[in-house]
Amino acid sequence: MSILGFKRRRSRSAQTDPVDVLDSLDEAVVVIDEQERILYRNRRWESLEQATGQPDHALPLHRFMHPLDQAPWREFLGQLNQGQRPDPLWVRLPVGEALYWCELRAQPLYKDADWPISLSFCDITPQVRRDQQRDASHRSLNQLVSNLPVMLYRARNNRNWSMEYVSEGCLSLTGYSADALVNQPRLSYGALIHPEDAGPVWEEVQQALHDNRPFELYYRIHHANGAIVQVREKGQGLYAESGAVLGVEGVIFTLESI
């Protein structure tokens, strides 16, 4: 007889057996006491126990978890011991040479008692792997962009060319860091453009935006070290579905220093 008061059996009547319901879930479900002793497990958890290589039913629950998840699990238990309902916890269960990622949720089994508690382990392994692949691609792309001797940018369409994003190549191009160009209100990329070129640059970009075409520019900027640098810029507009101009983006690189 399980803690739920039902035998593990196939129901022969028209009434649904709760154990059959729990065994049909893709989620692993266990019930534990304050000492982490497993009082009930559904078939999904039993299959995980076998796969982890630790089929000993007497093991406390934390023994099935990855070592790096022990501290968050203890904090999770501490909140339960204080009668709180903790937020879901992500944990890893070593399964052979792989990791089974789960979102762990807990609630008291009975309304009038804090213990025992039921735990559900929702498999989020596919989501975690997608996130890891995306993060790895993002890091690789950021590293590639950072190593390019050019400045990639996204800016608002105003005469200051207020930058929303610039790549790390801005340091060699302008002498200013990305943080300085994006987050310092007293410094704008537009202020770096040579006064004789600022007007023609603005007019050419506005005409290209009006015509909904890319633009290519040649002009001079003032480097932070006092030099005048000849640059080439290739860019295009960013548009809303209505056709309104949201900004511009492109790439700027050095031709020569004067």
Same domain, 193 and 250: yes
pLDDT at position 186, please? Answer: 81
Helix (H), strand (E), coil (C) string for the chain: CCCCCCCCCCCCCCCCCHHHHHHCCCCEEEEECCCCCEEEECHHHHHHHHHHCCCCCCCCHHHHCCHHHHHHHHHHHHHHHCCCCCCCEEEEEEECCEEEEEEEEEEECCCCCCCCEEEEEEECHHHHHHHHHHHHHHHHHHHHHHHCCCEEEEECCCCCCCEEEECCCHHHHHCCCHHHHHHCCCCCHHHHECHHHHHHHHHHHHHHHHHCCCEEEEEEEECCCCCEEEEEEEEEEEECCCCCEEEEEEEEEEEEEC
Q: Which of 80, 106, 131 is at the close of a domain?
A: 131
pLDDT at position 248, please? Answer: 95
pLDDT at position 136, please? Answer: 56
Q: What is the pTM of this model?
A: 0.48
Structural domain includes residue 9: no
Domain count for the chain, please give it.
Answer: 2
Structural domain includes residue 3: no
Same domain, 109 and 157: no
Structural domain includes residue 6: no
Q: Domain limits at 85?
A: 18-131
User: Of 13, 33, 30, 39, which is closest to residue 65 (Cα–Cα)?
Assistant: 30
Structural domain includes residue 5: no
Structural domain includes residue 140: no
Each residue's pLDDT tens digit, 100-113? 888 999 989 888 88
Same domain, 160 and 228: yes
Same domain, 120 and 192: no
The larger pLDDT score, comparing residue 93 to residue 217, is at 217
Alpha-carbon distance of 111 to 17, in angstroms, equals: 21
Please give the average per-residue pLDDT across 51-80, as a whole number: 83
Same domain, 115 and 154: no
Same domain, 51 and 122: yes
Structural domain includes residue 119: yes
Each residue's pLDDT tens digit, 114-164? 899 999 999 888 887 777 666 655 555 556 556 667 899 999 999 999 999
* CATH number, position 168: 3.30.450.20
Structural domain includes residue 189: yes
Same domain, 162 and 242: yes
Each residue's pLDDT tens digit, 194-221? 999 999 999 999 999 999 999 999 999 9
